[in-house]
Amino acid sequence: MSLWNMFIGGLPALLTAHQITDLFKVSFSEQGSSRRLEEERAVGQWRDWLIDIEGGDVVLTIEEEVRVTFVDLMFATGTNRIPPLGFDPVPTLAFLHDPVNGVKRVFPEANTCGLILRLPIYDSFSSHTILGIVQSPHFGLA
């Protein structure tokens, strides 16, 4: 399921990129491993991307310009707000290292039941993330 609109939308505009970053516990590989280095780079891209959204700088032009805001997204839990007592369990960032059936996974994936957001390991972070959001606008609608 490559649906990033599952993870942070509907949050009040008052939330900052820093606050959203702090909501997630990062599940890193062993310190010193090559996977860990890739994961640290992906987390850096994720944090930069959130800052860009906050600043209004996340835009992708396909047939028309698409500007992403925190309001366009839905939290990784499937809810549109942070519960007053927080989440249990804490939302987790994990990583998509391995291809599935020989295909490299370039879109982020979310598991709303387990509160897990999986970030792919690649270089075109912003454009693939926006495409994932644009291509899945109806997640959770019956």
Q: List residues with catalytic annotation.
A: 113
Question: How far apart are the C-alpha atoms of 110 and 59, rounded to whole Å?
Answer: 22
Q: Any residues with CB less than 8 A from the CB of 30 and at least 6 apart, and which?
A: 36
> Quick check: 42 and 95 in contact, CB under 8 A?
yes
Token duo for residue 52: 């860009």
Token duo for residue 32: 């010193």
